[in-house]
Structure 1
Amino acid sequence: MAHFMLPGPSVFTHDTGHDFYRIFTRPQWRSWLVRGAFIITGYALVLALLFLAGLLGLSGLADALVIPGAILSVLAVIYTAWLFGQSKGRDLWQNPLLPLHLFSQGLFAGAAAFLIVERFLPLPAEARTLVGWAFAVGLLVHLLFALSELVMPPMTIDAKRAAHQMIFGRYGTFYWTGLIAGAVLPLVLFAVLGQGAVFAALLGLAGLLAYEHAYVQAAQSVPLT
């Protein structure tokens, strides 16, 4: 569910509800907005079928949906990188490593959701350990990608201006809050408290929201010429 929620809003913020159906009736297959809509719809269908299989005890159906669900979950997380890549006027988004960065975000965000839900619906010990490692590794990789923006020189003047706005300018508070309170602190808490660090999971999700706000808004803050 966390994987589904992360990329979903990008589809609806690029079109109005009145025109959204045209994505399915008159698709432009070169657009990652269209491809993303079909990916998310397919993933939602798989989730619905998995829920139904769980209710009815259809283990065969659930097993058959594992691989398609895994593939669609990854695509649902990372397709936004290619959607951003089609925005040629936004140089900050023209990063070939963005799919990997988004994957790390989806990994730790999904694990964070499990860490929170696990307080009410306990997981088996092996699953809890796997979720804990996914949270820690995903969050660490996200932090490294974010910190690389400090040391890797932007490729264009517009990308440099956008990066400055994100890190030191108008959106710097969101950027540093996302990194310190939303990544460094959760990693420290998780190292101390282990899989029981629900507060670390909440901080990680809040920090991701702050970081993404800085990243998305800063790229659009540079005037198009």
Structure 2
Amino acid sequence: TRPKVYYVGAESSTLSPALQRAAPSFVFGQRPAAERDLIQMVADAQARERGGDGATSRTVYDAPHAPRPWGWRVSTYLWTKSIAAGALMMAALTLPLERAGGMAADASLLRLTAPVLALLFLAITSGLLVLDLKRPDRFLYVLFRSNPRSWLVRGSWILMADGAVAALWLLAGLTGHGGLQATLVLPALLLGAATAGYSAFLFGQAEGRDFWQSPLLLPHLLVAALLAGGAALIAVGAMVAGRADVVTGFDPPLIGGLVLHGVLLFSELGVTHANLDVARAAALITRGPYRGVFWGGVVVAGLGLPFVLLMAADVAGLSPLRVLAAVFALAGLWLWEDLWVKAGQSIPLS
């Protein structure tokens, strides 16, 4: 954040939370219960580190802090935004193939269902963003009294533009204007990618949260959007058509999305980290209190199981397994988004 402040002769442990051992209580006061739980969780994770926690001082008094300012609304916003962006992107990527006869997919799925999904989840995303504001009644200030340097504002503009393209895509599908949809393919791809990816820059502006500064965040968000969009189209398309064989064409992109999601996920968590705070946040997920949800929910149920189900659906011709794979993939993606948001806020800043 580049504050123009210089500390002369200060003890290093007073400036770096990584060198402090936070106390669950004080001599003349108590921490709030939620804050105590978070402090204890981080302390337990630090104690398991090789060579000890490295602390050189102990906190004896502190101001109260909101344990995690961003909660389930932000996690769900990332998830719904991935579905909204990915549904239209998948339609834009596959529509030319479907028209050329190179992909097995129901035409109405690409022309009607995809834009309806995009508009529905864009509306949910916008609602979650408004609800997460401290003053939801002032959400119009983001549009009419905005700071154009903020990625919250830029993201709002991107969401509106993506919604306009999705609405035009739906209108073209309803009126049978295939030429208009062909014209909208490139704008849908670009705005879908912008909708999925702008959050990398939004989280990047939270410069105190080192775990969110990963250079892999932008490609991971783009892959997550394609994965979520493909899975949502499989699940909803099968329900609308009443049978699962109409969505077989989405198997290859969904399998590819699962593989790329897994590669990026383990790259974020398993590489040598930029600093101790990033390493500790990653350890909370892989070896700390979040490990059960990560290994059981994200890896096994959200990655491995959908992959196996899709393979079984293709080999054995059991189309309903395809829908089940899509549901597990979507659930695993939400669990990952939730863990990522939580872990990034679990490391003390001060």
Write the letter of the residue equivalent to 1:192: A
2:151 equivalent in structure 1:
32
Shift of the 43–30 alpha-carbon distance from structure 1 to 2, 3 Å rule, reads same
What 5-or-longer segments of structure 2 have no aligned partner? 1-82, 86-117
Write the letter of the residue equivalent to 1:198: V
What do residues 115-134 of structure 1 show as CA deviations (whole Å, max 9, x unaligned)?
11231337997x742x2111
Write the letter of the residue equivalent to 2:84: A
Displacement of 1:55: 1.7
Q: Is the 8 A contact 1:77 1:103 kept in 2?
A: yes
What do residues 63-92 of structure 1 show as CA deviations (whole Å, max 9, x unaligned)?
222211111111111111111111101111
Segment drifting more, 189-198 vs 151-160: 189-198
User: Following superposition of structure 1 onto structure 2, how do residues 3-14 of structure 1 map, counting pairs within 5 Å?
Assistant: 3=85, 4=118, 5=121, 8=125, 11-12=129-130, 14=132
The normalised TM-score by structure 1 is 0.89
Provide the C-alpha distance between the structure 1 equivalents of 2:287 and 2:244, rounded to a whole number of angstroms.
42
1:214 equivalent in structure 2:
339
Q: Is the 8 A contact 1:112 1:204 kept in 2?
A: yes
1:174 equivalent in structure 2:
293
2:206 equivalent in structure 1:
87
Higher relative CO (Cα under 8 Å, sequence separation at least 6) belongs to 2
Write the letter of the residue equivalent to 1:163: A
Which residue of 42, 51, 60 corresponds with 2:161? 42
Displacement of 1:169: 1.7
Shift of the 163–97 alpha-carbon distance from structure 1 to 2, 3 Å rule, reads same
Which residue of 299, 305, 309 corresponds with 1:185? 305
Provide the C-alpha distance between the structure 2 equivalents of 1:46 and 1:186, rounded to a whole number of angstroms.
31
Provide the C-alpha distance between the structure 2 equivalents of 1:81 and 1:13, rounded to a whole number of angstroms.
21
Provide the C-alpha distance between the structure 1 equivalents of 2:131 and 2:213, rounded to a whole number of angstroms.
20
Displacement of 1:157: 1.5
Q: Is the 8 A contact 2:214 2:268 kept in 1?
A: no
DSSP-derived class of the 2:339 partner: helix
Displacement of 1:11: 3.5
2:219 counterpart of 1:103? no
Identity %, equivalent residues: 36
Provide the C-alpha distance between the structure 1 equivalents of 2:206 and 2:301, rounded to a whole number of angstroms.
30
Provide the C-alpha distance between the structure 2 equivalents of 1:188 and 1:90, rounded to a whole number of angstroms.
36
2:329 equivalent in structure 1:
204
Q: Is the 8 A contact 1:33 1:83 kept in 2?
A: yes
Displacement of 1:162: 1.1
The normalised TM-score by structure 2 is 0.59
1:68 equivalent in structure 2:
187
2:195 counterpart of 1:113? no
2:88 equivalent in structure 1:
none
Segment drifting more, 21-30 vs 53-62: 53-62
Displacement of 1:14: 4.9
Provide the C-alpha distance between the structure 1 equivalents of 2:147 and 2:209, rounded to a whole number of angstroms.
21
Shift of the 69–11 alpha-carbon distance from structure 1 to 2, 3 Å rule, reads same
1:2 equivalent in structure 2:
84
DSSP-derived class of the 2:196 partner: helix
Q: Is the 8 A contact 1:172 1:214 kept in 2?
A: no
Higher Cα Rg: structure 1 or 2? 2
1:55 equivalent in structure 2:
174
Provide the C-alpha distance between the structure 2 equivalents of 1:103 and 1:167, rounded to a whole number of angstroms.
23
What do residues 161-219 of structure 1 show as CA deviations (whole Å, max 9, x unaligned)?
21111222232222221111100111111112139311111000000111111111010
Provide the C-alpha distance between the structure 1 equivalents of 2:189 and 2:125, rounded to a whole number of angstroms.
17
Displacement of 1:17: 2.5
Shift of the 199–123 alpha-carbon distance from structure 1 to 2, 3 Å rule, reads closer
Number of residues paired by the alignment?
223
Shift of the 220–151 alpha-carbon distance from structure 1 to 2, 3 Å rule, reads same
Q: CA RMSD in A?
A: 2.3
| Bigger proportion of residues as helix | 1
Provide the C-alpha distance between the structure 2 equivalents of 1:24 and 1:113, rounded to a whole number of angstroms.
30
